[in-house]
Structure 1
C-alpha cells in the first residue's frame, strides 16, 4: 500500500467541505491527511492517534498541555482526550494515524 500526499491534498476540501481524507486502512489502522483552515473543530477520537506534521507551524493543545509544533514533529494523543491545533499557519498539513481498539491501548507496563 502507498499513500501520496499530493493526491490526497488534491481531494481537499471534500464534498461537504471536509479538510481530511482517509488514504490507507488495514485492520484497526487508518491513515488520513488533515489540512484544516482557520480553526480546528475536531472532537476526541475513539482510537489512539499519531500526528506527523508535514508543513506549517502553530500550537497543539493536548489535554491541558500546549506545545509549539512544526514540520517533522510527531504528536501522540490517547483515545478520548480533548485536543486541537491552535494558531496554525495557512500551510498546515499533517498525516494522522489512528489504530487500536476503541478506548485506546492504555499505558504500557
Structure 2
C-alpha cells in the first residue's frame, strides 16, 4: 500500500499513475482518513475485481469504455462519475489502453443504509 501522509496538500494524478507499473496490483491506495479511502486504479487487459464491502465512487481520470453495474451498462469517458453500492457486482468491461480512474471508498462496511 502506498499512502500519502496527512500533511500532503496535493496528489497529482499524473505522478500517482507512475506508481502503478511498479506495483503487484493494478491500484495504489493514496489516501486514507476516517471512513474514506482514495485509490488510483488502472486495470490492464481485463477488470477482475469482485464486489466490495463499502460504497464507492469512480471518477474517470483518463480513457473511455463501458462499465457494468449488476445488469446496468453505461459508456464512460474522462471526468465521468460512477457510483456502486456495497456488495454489488461491477466491472469495467471494455476500456482504452490509457484508462485510469480515481476510486473513492466511503462510509461504513456494508454501505450506507438509506
Give the TM-score normalised by the residue count of structure 2: 0.88
Correspondence for 1:72 among 79, 98, 110: 79
Residue 50 in 1 paired to residue 57 in 2? yes
Q: 1:1-109 alignment to 2 at 5 Å?
A: 1-16=9-24, 18-107=25-114
Please give the per-residue CA displacement for 1:48-87, whole angstroms capped at 9, x wherever unaligned.
0000001111110011100011111000000000000011
| Aligned residues of 2:68 and 2:93 also touching (Cα < 8 A) | yes
| Aligned residues of 2:66 and 2:94 also touching (Cα < 8 A) | yes
Identify unmatched segments of 5+ residues in structure 2.
1-8
CA RMSD of the aligned region, Å? 1.1
> What displacement does 1:2 show?
2.8
Q: Secondary structure at the match of 2:20?
A: coil
Q: Distance in 1 between matches of 2:67 and 2:113?
A: 21
Give the number of equivalent residue pairs.
Answer: 106
Identify unmatched segments of 5+ residues in structure 1.
none
